[in-house]
Structure 1
Amino acid sequence: MPILQTLNKGRVPVHIWTGDTESTALNQLVNVSQMPFIHHHVAAMPDVHAGIGATVGSVIPTRGAIVPAAVGVDIGCGMNAIRLSLTASELPDSLRMLRNRIEQAIPVGFGMHDRDPVKRSTIVPLAKRLDQILGKHPAIAKMQRKRPYDIWIRQLASLGGGNHFIELCLDENEAVWVMLHSGSRGIGNVIGRYFINLARKDMGDQLGRLPDRDLAYFTEGAQHFDDYVEAVAWAQDYAMINRREMMQQILDALALQLPPFSITKEAINCHHNYVVREHHFGADVYVTRKGAIRAGEGELGIIPGSMGAKSYIVRGKGSEASFCSCSHGAGRRMSRTKAKRQFNRADLESQTRGVECRKDKGVIDEIPGAYKDIDQVMANQSDLVEVVHTLKQVLCVKG
């Protein structure tokens, strides 16, 4: 389905792939479109909803500037999915022990491993690059809890909280998939918050002229622009490694409980909160995808639903109108606070029937009813991606 709505209230248009957008999100999109460095237009995916400063589900191309709050604080957050050689018939009747195995292997929330979880050959290159960043910005280390180095190392191969998850899914052929959603953990959060605040400070009196103070930005050539690019690249790499290492630990845990299996070639590891240099509409630009994945022609991606709905493995169609992007999920249709008010444990149990997962009040804000209809989201972006596999989760671990 093509663009369903266009806003022309800013310096450039905003093209939206849904007709169902809350007023707060619309205002945020207009605010972004007023910025002087936006290139050509802003694209909003069908899962679009209000965020902090910039809208979740937006694709923002900029020339000569980057907005740290548009990237956000979960820098490099994204998805990883692999298909196993197993089929549904090879899974145990009860998946409780499998969930227990995964929960024992993977720290969630603010948790971390008791010892270094990955090889030194992985840690050392990351540490050298981080030392360079902290050498110029020592306050980043002070913002984290005690022993910052222990924290970022031991939070590798860990999940986090909120909407992050690990799932066991079945596709249309009953093949078993492992899918996870995580980002750059505590260190990425600290880097994001530090540079968002630094951008505000650097703008000085100009901050008050912005449509939203969360749109504070670094300009190319300014004092801290290159430092931010270096730091955000580090956090994105950290997030990618975190997902890769976590996936391996999950597979090791599953191997203790399941028949022998192998991994197929269909493996995807992609960001959906990040900034990258690309070429669009005749210019080299910084593309910030805040809650959106790259969907270049032929590229595989992952679009998850909620913990009780379908998810999709997709292949990009390379749409220039969306800057070769698509949605990163279903997208929230209500806040966490509203979800907790509106739903109860009985609702959660009903909406996650058939899924081995937590069904306590601690995850009510992640109930499927708090999210948009993933089928409608997919229908709205049929011009951006084609569906390769349809997945339905049978097990879900939440942070």
Structure 2
Amino acid sequence: MPPTRAGKRLLNWASMLDDNTLDQARETASMPFIHPHVALMPDAHSGKGSAVGTVIPTLGAVIPAAVGVDIGCGMIGVRTGFTADDVAGNSASLSDLRAAIEVAVPLSPGNYNGHLERFDFTAGKIAELEAKAASDQVNLAHSPKWREQLGSLGGGNHFIELCLDETDHVWLFLHSGSRGVGNKIAQKHIAIAQKLCEKWWITLPNRDLAYLPEGTDEFWRYIRDLNWAQRFAFLNRAEMMDRFGTVFAQWMGTENHREVKRINTHHNYTRKEQHAGKDVWLTRKGAVDAHEGVKGIIPGSMGTRSYVVVGLGSASGLCSAPHGAGRRFSRTEAKRRFTQDDLRQRMAGIEYRDSADFIDEIPDAYKPVEQVMEDARDLVSIEHELRQILNVKGT
């Protein structure tokens, strides 16, 4: 849908929007260094400091809490050469595959890899991150086990899925970010920004909109740490996908998973881009890059469709698009409204771990992804529509 002007320097693409989310977006748009405007994506919902689903272009400053604590969180999808018939013809069950995935990938927020020698492809990613930390002078003393975090999923709405597209080709699909090490980096710099704004007597509409001015040592230390965490998140997804592909191939009784194409995208990050004639620091907090021709992934909620998309390069949308369905209800409210039986009904026909722990992830707790995609029709075009046949949730 075309955007509506929702306030000074604020454009909105969301047809489903609560007052708190709108208030947060207006606070963000009120910051003096916004250029040219804040873009509120179709999946926008309230978050910490600034709304999730907000695209924030800034001149000469970055807001660490707007980037968020899961730096580099995003999606990776791999289209394989297998089809639904290949899966259906496999004598092994989908529950066997789910069990193998859960062995290969640590699931819970605090659960790390016990060792890093199981897969040959892990060492190269760790070596790259070690070299980047050394060259960029990134101090990781706060996270001595960051290596063990590589290749782990985390909790909340992070997931791994086996999907089929509109032509019944098999996709491997997962959602995760920079894990505990990214959280530590974010919290460190959020605190620094807040202390500096207090020191300089800067009045903020919200303490979590504290910023770091470009040109200060604190700004550039954050950018170096941020870039490292974004790379960690990218490689973390790649590591889990490599593991997923390995166990899927073993489950299929073949030597490889016949990868046709791979898309690996962030949806919580900051980078330098040009918009409205100026170089800005563009923060996508719950949004994907939708420059013209750029491939992206917009997942639905547990039990609903997901989409592989192509950016349309919308200038007013800051070349961005939604990152998912977007929550309608908080986790507490979802657990109050829905039951485990409700979740079972919504997950009929999908292999998943039947647990009351996931009630707050029921599709009804999210916006209808079909409406989100309708709202985003001027931002992206749909290349593939995916439906899951297996789901693994972070615990």
TM-score interval, smaller chain: over 0.9
Residue 359 of structure 1, CA deviation: 2.3
Alignment partner, residue 2 of structure 1: 2
4+ residue segments displaced more than 6 Å: 132-135
- CA–CA distance in structure 2, aligned partners of residues 85 and 132 of structure 1: 39
Aligned pairs, number: 386
Note if 1:53 corresponds to 2:49: yes
Query: TM-score normalized by structure 1?
Result: 0.93
- CA–CA distance in structure 2, aligned partners of residues 196 and 207 of structure 1: 17
Unpaired segments ≥5 residues, structure 2:
none
Residue 82 to residue 125, structure 1, CA distance change in 2 (3 Å): closer
- CA–CA distance in structure 1, aligned partners of residues 251 and 103 of structure 2: 13
Task: Confirm or deny: 8 A CA contact 1:46 1:380 kept in the other structure.
Answer: yes
3-state SS of the aligned residue for 2:252? coil
- CA–CA distance in structure 2, aligned partners of residues 300 and 29 of structure 1: 26
3-state SS of the aligned residue for 2:194? helix
- CA–CA distance in structure 2, aligned partners of residues 308 and 119 of structure 1: 31
- CA–CA distance in structure 2, aligned partners of residues 359 and 208 of structure 1: 50
Q: Counterpart of 2:165 in structure 1: which amino acid?
A: D
Instruction: Choose the corresponding residue for 1:64, options 42, 46, 60.
Output: 60
Note if 1:122 corresponds to 2:125: yes
Query: TM-score normalized by structure 2?
Result: 0.94
* 1:57-206 equivalences in 2 (<5 Å): 57-91=53-87, 92=90, 94-109=93-108, 110-116=110-116, 119-131=122-134, 141-142=141-142, 148-149=143-144, 151-206=145-200
Note if 1:342 corresponds to 2:341: no
**1:188-207 deviations in Å (ceiling 9; x for gaps):** 01001111011101112456
Instruction: Choose the corresponding residue for 2:272, options 248, 266, 277.
Output: 277
- CA–CA distance in structure 1, aligned partners of residues 37 and 311 of structure 2: 20
Residue 87 of structure 1, CA deviation: 0.7
RMSD of aligned residue pairs (Cα, Å): 1.6
* 1:221-232 equivalences in 2 (<5 Å): 221-232=215-226
Moved more, 233-242 or 119-128: 119-128
**1:248-307 deviations in Å (ceiling 9; x for gaps):** 011111122114354344310000000010011100000000000001111111000011
Residue 132 of structure 1, CA deviation: 6.5
Alignment partner, residue 384 of structure 1: 379
Identity %: 47
- CA–CA distance in structure 1, aligned partners of residues 259 and 99 of structure 2: 25
- CA–CA distance in structure 2, aligned partners of residues 208 and 229 of structure 1: 22
3-state SS of the aligned residue for 1:314? strand
Residue 134 of structure 1, CA deviation: 6.8
Instruction: Choose the corresponding residue for 1:25, options 18, 21, 26.
Output: 21
Residue 155 of structure 1, CA deviation: 1.1
Unpaired segments ≥5 residues, structure 1:
143-147
